[in-house]
Amino acid sequence: MKKMGIILGAFFLSATLGFGGEKTISFIISGGMTRLAPHDLNSFLQDYARYYLHYIDGTADQNLLSKDLRTSYEFEFTILVRMAPRFFLTFGSGLINAGLESEPLVQKYSDLEMKLSRNDTIRAIPIRIGLLYSWPLSRRLSLRPHVSLDGYMTSFNETGYEERRDLPAGSIFARDEWEIKTRAFSWGSSLGLSLDVALSGTLSLSLDGGYRRARLSGFHGTDVRSATGGFRSERDFRLFYYEFYADWRETGYKFLNLPFATGSTSLDVVRDAVLDLSGPYLRGGLRVSF
């Protein structure tokens, strides 16, 4: 028992007093993939196709495919500043980029083709401040649990068009376009564990995995629309999430911006849309110390 106490005491003493060759300042450049769950957006993309299928003539040929946004790529630059043996303050920023170009919704009749297309893009710049602990496994290997408070400067943009083509003539006789640009700032947090492999006194490989919590809301911006004939309008826009029913409440829909066809339909839910970027991530990178 006494021997075990001596071993444990030696371990904690080395963890708090030993520097293990760590430099005072280092930086990490990393990149990888993340799993997303933007439920409000994905629910909308599914119901967007279902809604237009419901309101077109049943005799039309339909190509109403929809996709979900599930993954994203990200890059990050992190500075580590040693504040105490084995403990580091971390300051980081980077880019999370996710986009989805949905398959055009095509309605084809004997002499007319109508096509509806949209492209949704989410870009977030995280700004992180956190704490990291370096736990050496050997002279070259160390495990590094870390936690951070994150601020997200995020943009959500949507572009799209609806066009009508005269099939016998082979020409487009009407085209409506729109462009929605919004921005928001939200708080989140991250928790992770990295494996650090020292290649030399100044260069290391880093493999980092963890979980991010980032529920982003409060998007404001502009909605610009144009149409054949020179029509153009611009208005302030706030990204809301709506739930409404059609056909005497038999069919429910979830939307991020209301289609004109809803008319006076009563809305069951109206709230700020949430673009949830929470999920696990995995990044690889290089750490340079000096």
Q: How far apart (Å, rounded) are the C-alpha atoms in residues 144 and 157? A: 36
Taking a C-beta distance cutoff of 8 angstroms, is the pair 20, 142 a contact?
A: yes
pLDDT in tens, 247-280: 655 567 777 876 554 555 677 788 899 998 999 9
Model confidence at 12: pLDDT above 50 = no
Model confidence at 113: pLDDT above 60 = yes
Q: In the structure, what pLDDT confidence band is assigned to residue 55 with cuts at 50, 70 and 90?
A: low
Select 15-289's CATH number: 3.30.565.10, 2.40.160.20, 3.30.360.10, 1.20.120.1200: 2.40.160.20
pLDDT at 48: 74
Helices then strands, each counted (H, E), the chain: 2, 18
Copy the structure tokens of residue 226.
């144009």
pLDDT in tens, 156-169: 999 988 898 888 88
Model confidence at 152: pLDDT above 90 = yes
Least confident span in 3-12, 83-92, 183-192, 262-271: 3-12
If we measure between CA atoms, which residue out of 8, 33, 169 comes closest to residue 97? Answer: 33
Per the model's pLDDT, the better-predicted residue between 21 and 85 turns out to be: 85
Model confidence at 91: pLDDT above 60 = yes
Copy the structure tokens of residue 140.
């070259």
Copy the structure tokens of residue 272.
């700020």
Span between the terminal Cα atoms of the chain, in Å? 42
Greatest mean pLDDT among 49-53, 132-136, 230-234, 265-269 lies in 132-136
pLDDT at 64: 53
Model confidence at 180: pLDDT above 50 = yes
pLDDT at 14: 42
Q: What is the mean pLDDT of residues 205-221?
A: 95
Q: What is the mean pLDDT of residues 92-113?
A: 83
The mean pLDDT of the chain is: 83
Q: What is the mean pLDDT of residues 201-218?
A: 94
| Residue 178 CB burial class (10 angstroms; 0-12, 13-18, ≥19) | middle
- Strands 267-272 and 240-246 turn out to be antiparallel
Checking phi first, is residue 170 left (phi over 0); if not, alpha (psi -120 to 50) or beta? left
If we measure between CA atoms, which residue out of 182, 183, 180, 185 comes closest to residue 258? Answer: 180
Taking a C-beta distance cutoff of 8 angstroms, is the pair 200, 279 a contact?
A: no
| Whole-prediction pTM | 0.81
Per the model's pLDDT, the better-predicted residue between 287 and 241 turns out to be: 287
Residue with tokens 């809604």: 51
pLDDT at 263: 52
